[in-house]
Structure 1
Amino acid sequence: MERFTLILEQIDSFVWGPPLLILLVGTGLYLTMRLGLIQVVRLPLALKYVFAKTQEKGMQGDVSSFAALCIALSATIGTGNIVGVATAVKAGGPGAIFWMWVAAFFGMATKYAEGLLAVKYRVVDANGEMSGGPMYYIERGLNNRFLAKMFALFGIGVAFFGIGTFAQVNAIKDAANLTFHIPVPVIAVVLTVLVTMVTLGGVKSISRVASRIVPFMALFFILLSGLIMFLNIGQIPAAVSLIIESAFNPQAAFGGAAGISVIMVMRSGIARGVFSNESGLGSAPIAAAAAKTDSCVHQGLIAMTGTFFDSIVICTMTGIVIVMTGCWNDPALAGAAMTNMAFNTGLGSDIGQYLLTIALIFFAFTTILGWNYYGERCTEYLFGVKAIKGYKIIYIALVASGSFLQLGLIWTLADIVNGLMAIPNLIGLLGLSGVVASETKAYFADLKEKQGAMGAKPEAQPAMRATE
């Protein structure tokens, strides 16, 4: 097992080497410049779209735009926000949080492009459901079926062995066992039954659960973290200063510890940031494609807010709590245990770990549901709708076994398949950046014209231009 783990770590280092880091951040940087800093300029409008009621009657799609966002958020707001942040800080120090911010900022432009292209190139499958995502915009937009199939194959791999099952299940197991002392076999059985009940109902069942759980638990977590930050407000400036300084000078945090370089800090922050917000990974556009909308730009803006909520808000709050309480520097702590201790320390009471555990369990559970849907769409693309049943059986079996695997192996495996999934998607985004820019320019030109002629509010959106 040790040799196998070592091989995986070497593969992980190769996959997440400088080329992929440059490709990830570079794609976001390029889209940011080409779209005129859209993640800043259009963020207020995007947030209005998220919370505004829109007329969806007669529009193509399976679920509402908000429900599609909740499915995407259900898959992104999970262990990456709680366990992943702790893992990143453990490996790269507080400076890793800064690089998570960088990845998230440029990732918002990436997520916008993904959502836009997902709706523009989506299709209706044999069951009458919407199918979309990178495999479709790579095939139909770039006319490259090989890259499209590679993405779908890696997407199934991430669902089976990466974000979808093992990482989430293991986090639930650790948190419930450590905090509530629930036996591992009991956790495995209950979790498997619940996942089975929801996922067999398809996208509408998943969207109903996600639309109820995700907003409530996100607000709960933000309020809990905000309370801790308020109670320890005097420690925040020093924590932020350490995060920024150690991003470029790791010795500021580790005191000259051997083996810690800026590249290692960047890798830890960006890899965990992508694990958390999934910008560039290509997963969220699969959910965006199911939205009831007649505007690809409108859905792209809504999709963009997912990275904002996930990383700019929730991951930041988790990271600051971990750093300002000093728990990141305890060699005995890792993963969920580190975050539990940070919240206990911040609140000055053991109640912190109980509240955090509840949030983690719900976050991880909804992530399992979201990734079940992503893997299902990838399976349908490669093998047709008849293969979906077999996919679900395998997925549920992996959920049942995930409680019995080791944490380090799980995160390494997750990093590898995440990186492999991102590569064909990023190539597709760069190749179709002209389409994204063209659709964006036309949309806001139409919106400006309508506002000038009719005094329309920003929520009034122009229809999507005809697509092939």
Structure 2
Amino acid sequence: MDAINNLVNFLNGLVWGPPMLMLILGTGGFLMISLRLMPLMRIKQGVESLWQGRIKGDPETGLISPFQALMTCLAATVGTGNIAGVATAIFWGGPGALFWMWCTALVGMATKYSEVVLAVHYRERDTNGEHVGGPMYAIKNGLGPRWAWLAALFALFGGLAGFGIGNMVQANSMAQALESSFAVDVRLTGFLTMIIVAAVILGGIRRIGKVAASLVPFMCVVYVLTAIVVLFINLSAIPAAFSLIFTHAFTPAAATGGFAGAAVMAAIRYGVARGIFSNEAGLGTAGIAQAAGTSDNPVKSGLIGMMGTFIDTIIICTMTGLAIISSGVWSSGESGAALSIAAFESALPGIGGHVLTLSLILFTFTTILGWSYIGERCWSYLFGVKTILPFRIFWVIAVYWGATAQLDFVWLLADTLNGLMAVPNLIALIILSPVVVGLTRSYFAQRDSQEKATDS
């Protein structure tokens, strides 16, 4: 077992090492330049499209509304990475890690946009008549039969990674949080979560979409409002917090208090890695969920999809990071969720820690729901729709196992598989980038001409 652990540790170091991080950032930068900064210049249109997407379009063009599709995507991405992941990045990389998380998110908007555009453009209907898409379909239909092996690799990595990073690890985080804060037995948490998850995912994407559209906005708003209160209490320390972030993004952070210090490379590495872990830009998961949404144009879906990265990292992760740094607890020696809890508790004694714990519980629960659809689509791509029901049953059982088991090895293996998902996706994004650019220019040229005609 030690040999297997060492092997997976070695593979994980390669997968999430500097070459992979540079590849993900480089692909995002390449797409941003190819799109002439469109994702940044069109954020206003992204917000408008998101708001309009609350209304379900033609049922013939999708299963759920574009808003429900985005909320399903956010359900999968807004999770432990936004609370524990940000804290871990700051613990290992110092305050400067937050700056590199921002950079990852900004170029990640171009990556996420492109993933969704390709997913919707190349989507198809399965034998149940449901719209399905994602990197595997973009590779199969966009790159052709010679690349079928690459599509299968993505689906295999995604199908396996989902059980770890999207299920058992999340259930375990939830159970541990409830046990430490409210003394709830992990077996009870596992059983109840298993029942609730079963009630939702057995209803398919329509039910997942409805639940996500109700829970995700609520939990994000509550978390952000609480973080704003924490920041208001620490208002005088916020300028110094920004100074630390920008200073230590480019200069080493010296050891202080319980903080061991960090080189600039550590700030970059952990900021980028945790940023990607949080928003999943480059991993291809967003396109799978967005492809289920009603859409008459892939660019519209892409504009909505890129807002997921903005919400996840620029808003939610920033709130967590600023709360940690402005409260001064970042150098206390705590790490992970405990560091985030300490930041909220220092500003709101007796309340902040409980709010953060409840947020973590909701974040992890919705991640289990969102990832269930991603995993389901990966396995159904490989083995057909006949695997959907068995997959859902195994997914529900895995929730209980995750809540009650020791998952150090599962976490490590899932993290490796999660990173491997990026390789087929990034290859497809680079090769098919002209398709994304062409669809984008055509859409905005038509839209701009219509607006000019209306104005005149």
Task: Normalising by structure 2, report the TM-score.
Answer: 0.95
Given the alignment of the two structures, is residue 142 of structure 1 paired with residue 143 of structure 2, yes or no?
yes
| Greater mean deviation of Cα atoms: 304-313 or 2-11 | 2-11
Given the alignment of the two structures, is residue 454 of structure 1 paired with residue 451 of structure 2, yes or no?
no
State whether residues 93 and 254 of structure 1, in contact with CA within 8 Å, keep that contact through their aligned partners in structure 2.
no
- The whole-number CA distance in structure 1 between the counterparts of 2:125 and 2:429 is 22
AA in 2 matched with 1:285: G
- The whole-number CA distance in structure 1 between the counterparts of 2:330 and 2:176 is 18
State whether residues 254 and 260 of structure 2, in contact with CA within 8 Å, keep that contact through their aligned partners in structure 1.
no
In the other structure, the counterpart of 1:434 is 434
Deviations 1:181-218 (A, max 9, x none): 11111111111111111111100010010000001111
SS of the residue corresponding to residue 248 of structure 1 reads coil
Q: Give 1:43 shift.
A: 0.4
Q: Give 1:63 shift.
A: 0.3
Q: Give 1:410 shift.
A: 5.2
Q: Give 1:406 shift.
A: 4.5
Q: Measured at CA, do residues 354 and 2 of structure 1 come closer, stay the same or move farther in structure 2, by a change above 3 Å? A: farther
State whether residues 117 and 302 of structure 2, in contact with CA within 8 Å, keep that contact through their aligned partners in structure 1.
yes
Q: Give 1:30 shift.
A: 0.5
AA in 1 matched with 2:210: R
Choose the corresponding residue for 2:315, options 302, 313, 316.
Answer: 313
Deviations 1:13-62 (A, max 9, x none): 11112221111000110011110112211000110111125571354100
State whether residues 94 and 253 of structure 2, in contact with CA within 8 Å, keep that contact through their aligned partners in structure 1.
no
Q: Give 1:104 shift.
A: 0.6
SS of the residue corresponding to residue 252 of structure 1 reads coil
Choose the corresponding residue for 1:302, options 301, 304, 326.
Answer: 304
Deviations 1:365-410 (A, max 9, x none): 0110000000000111000001112222222222111123457545
- The whole-number CA distance in structure 1 between the counterparts of 2:407 and 2:241 is 27
In the other structure, the counterpart of 2:412 is 412
Given the alignment of the two structures, is residue 71 of structure 1 paired with residue 72 of structure 2, yes or no?
yes
- The whole-number CA distance in structure 2 between the counterparts of 1:297 and 1:191 is 37
- The whole-number CA distance in structure 2 between the counterparts of 1:271 and 1:351 is 31
| Greater mean deviation of Cα atoms: 37-46 or 430-439 | 37-46
State whether residues 86 and 335 of structure 1, in contact with CA within 8 Å, keep that contact through their aligned partners in structure 2.
yes
Choose the corresponding residue for 1:171, options 161, 170, 173.
Answer: 173
Choose the corresponding residue for 2:268, options 266, 269, 283.
Answer: 266
Given the alignment of the two structures, is residue 35 of structure 1 paired with residue 35 of structure 2, yes or no?
yes
AA in 2 matched with 1:199: I
Given the alignment of the two structures, is residue 152 of structure 1 paired with residue 148 of structure 2, yes or no?
no
- The whole-number CA distance in structure 2 between the counterparts of 1:192 and 1:260 is 41
State whether residues 98 and 269 of structure 1, in contact with CA within 8 Å, keep that contact through their aligned partners in structure 2.
yes
Q: Measured at CA, do residues 254 and 421 of structure 1 come closer, stay the same or move farther in structure 2, by a change above 3 Å? A: farther
Choose the corresponding residue for 1:195, options 194, 197, 211.
Answer: 197
State whether residues 198 and 205 of structure 1, in contact with CA within 8 Å, keep that contact through their aligned partners in structure 2.
yes
Q: Measured at CA, do residues 345 and 2 of structure 1 come closer, stay the same or move farther in structure 2, by a change above 3 Å? A: farther
Q: Give the gaps of 5 or more residues in structure 1.
A: 457-468
State whether residues 97 and 249 of structure 2, in contact with CA within 8 Å, keep that contact through their aligned partners in structure 1.
yes
Q: Give 1:145 shift.
A: 0.5
Given the alignment of the two structures, is residue 114 of structure 1 paired with residue 115 of structure 2, yes or no?
yes
State whether residues 59 and 293 of structure 1, in contact with CA within 8 Å, keep that contact through their aligned partners in structure 2.
no
AA in 1 matched with 2:422: A
- The whole-number CA distance in structure 2 between the counterparts of 1:410 and 1:91 is 22
Matches within 5 A, 1:13-28: 13-28=13-28
- The whole-number CA distance in structure 1 between the counterparts of 2:72 and 2:250 is 36
Q: Give 1:361 shift.
A: 1.0
Q: Give 1:415 shift.
A: 2.6
In the other structure, the counterpart of 1:466 is none
